[in-house]
Amino acid sequence: MPRLMDMGLDKLNGMLLEMANLSENAVAASIEAYGKGGKGTEVREWSRRLQTLHHQVSDLSMELIARFQPVASDLRFIKACFEISYGFYRFGRYALDIVEVLDIFGDLSKCDHKAVVETARNTQEMIRMSVDAFARRDVALARRIPKLDDAVDDSYRQNLRSVLDQKKDTRCTLSASLILRYLERISDHATYIGESVDYIVTGVEPSH
């Protein structure tokens, strides 16, 4: 017989899967807009929807705690929902930040896109891994996410140093720096989502 709390937990899970899908699409669309010169119009709507869902996840989590006093794996899942929901919401927010960089900097078609595109490939892989790890409660997959984070961090730092090279086009280096910074933050949140999946399944808290 299903427990009363299961309806709420299923709803939470569904909301997080919707957030996972939206946030993955938002980041992909923002990077495509950078590479192909688009506007990324839909990213704004998705980002707003992610913010709304994030608040709804928080409200429902609090309600489940107040009404059912969850323990053990139920409690760990709800606690992790706060972190995971925040992570997906931030994915959407950084995707919006990337689109706003494109608005402010204008045409970037003549810039070298290589660093951003390569870094975005890693970041999107991290997002996909964090989403799959959450959907399948796959601890082994969650634990592989941080390995990609180092490459994203290196790319971000390398680009920052290149900003100091006065011979390069400021518009290109600055826009790339900002976008790489957002990708670096997205990667960190993907790592945190992976840690939350680990916590749900094993009860082991992240060390930070």
Interface residue list for another protein (CB under 8 A): 3, 5, 69-76, 79, 202-203
Residue 146 gets which letter from DSSP? H
Contact indicator for 154, 122 with CB cutoff of 8 Å = no
CB of residue 72 to another protein, shortest distance in Å: 5
Nearer to another protein, 8 or 92 (CB): 8
CB of residue 64 to another protein, shortest distance in Å: 13
CB of residue 193 to another protein, shortest distance in Å: 18
CB of residue 56 to another protein, shortest distance in Å: 21
Distance CA 113, CA 101 (A): 14
Nearer to another protein, 40 or 70 (CB): 70
Nearer to another protein, 128 or 137 (CB): 137
Nearer to another protein, 79 or 168 (CB): 79
Residue 53 buriedness (CB in 10 A; 0-12 / 13-18 / 19+): buried
Residue 131 buriedness (CB in 10 A; 0-12 / 13-18 / 19+): buried
